[in-house]
Amino acid sequence: MGRWLGVLLLLTVAGVLVRSRMADWPLAAALGVLFMAYSGILYWARRQRYVQFRSKALLDDPPPPAGLDMTGLIPIRASGWFTVEGKRQYYVDLDADYQTVPSREHIILARVYPSRFLLLGRWPEREIGWWYIFFEPAMVRRMQVGHLHFGARPRPAVQLTYGPEVKTQETVQVTFDSLTALKQVWADLVVDAPPGTTPANQPSYLQNSFAREQVL
């Protein structure tokens, strides 16, 4: 959608110049400055992967570790690298569900729906459908609670860094409509997350639980 907005703005500038035969150059110049500013913001957004996560201690009363019902799905929205049938794609704020299967593997199941923008652009057909993120508990390198800034308002979120090795680490941000859902996912993740995966600004309860695991 960002590309189409830029194209529309550029076409507007060209249209003003053509229709006015350069008489409205101040307006065209103003629109040109707006286009340059928009391009700069779009470039910054791409470098930030279009989202910004800010760590914050939201769990004043953190839940004890508790595995999810193996058949349960928790509605979420997710941003990160997804895969399906050998394809790999980065998506932002997809409608998704979080699930943990009996083997304790964690899965994020996301959906890409057909959509159009101003009758000009449409989502590529090859990307429509289900996309997934799979990770074992041992792959979790870092877990943080905070707010994800995307859209009109920040939402409670968990940011996960995971990967089999340091060189292949990836990050996924998972947002929730309520703290209740966030606590459910967090309690499930900490059941068997490796020691030391939560930073110092997270609840002391979790830091203590990981310390006990290291002693044992």
Q: What is the pLDDT of residues 56-68, one digit of tens each?
A: 888 777 778 888 8
Pair (135, 161) in one structural domain: yes
Q: How confident is the model at residue 147 (pLDDT cuts 50, 70, 90)?
A: very high
Position 212 pLDDT exceeds 90: no
Whether the model pTM is above 0.85? no
Tell me the pLDDT tens digit for each residue of 71-105.
Answer: 779 999 999 999 999 999 999 999 999 999 999 99
26 lies in the same domain as 89: no
pLDDT at residue 95, as a whole number = 95
Torsion region of 98: left, alpha or beta (phi above 0 gives left; psi -120 to 50 gives alpha): beta
* pLDDT at residue number 160: 94
**Mean per-residue pLDDT, 22-39:** 55
Which residue range(s) make up the domain with 122? 52-215
Q: Which of 1-5, 109-113, 207-211 has the highest mean pLDDT?
A: 109-113
Do 36 and 66 share a domain, yes or no?
Answer: no
Q: Output the pLDDT for position 14.
A: 57
Same domain, 172 and 195: yes
Q: Are residues 136 and 161 in the same domain?
A: yes
pLDDT > 70? residue 188: yes
Higher pLDDT, 82 or 2: 82
Q: Which residue has the higher pLDDT, 95 or 193?
A: 95
Dist CA 95 CA 119 (whole Å): 23
Number of domains in the chain: 2
Q: What pLDDT shows up at residue 41?
A: 42
Q: What is the mean pLDDT of the chain?
A: 76
Residues 134 and 167 in one domain: yes
Together in a domain, 6 and 72: no
Instruction: Assess whether 101 and 206 both reside in one domain.
Output: yes
Residues 34, 81 within the same domain: no
Confidence at residue 58, expressed as pLDDT on a 0 to 100 scale: 81
- Give residue 34's pLDDT band: very low, low, confident or very high (50, 70, 90): low
Highest mean pLDDT of the ranges 25-39, 43-57, 105-119:
105-119
Does 38 lie in the same domain as 68? no
More confident residue, 191 or 69: 191
Are residues 109 and 11 both part of a single domain?
no
pLDDT at 114: 85
Which is more confident, 76 or 46? 76
Do residue 156 and residue 101 come from a single domain?
A: yes
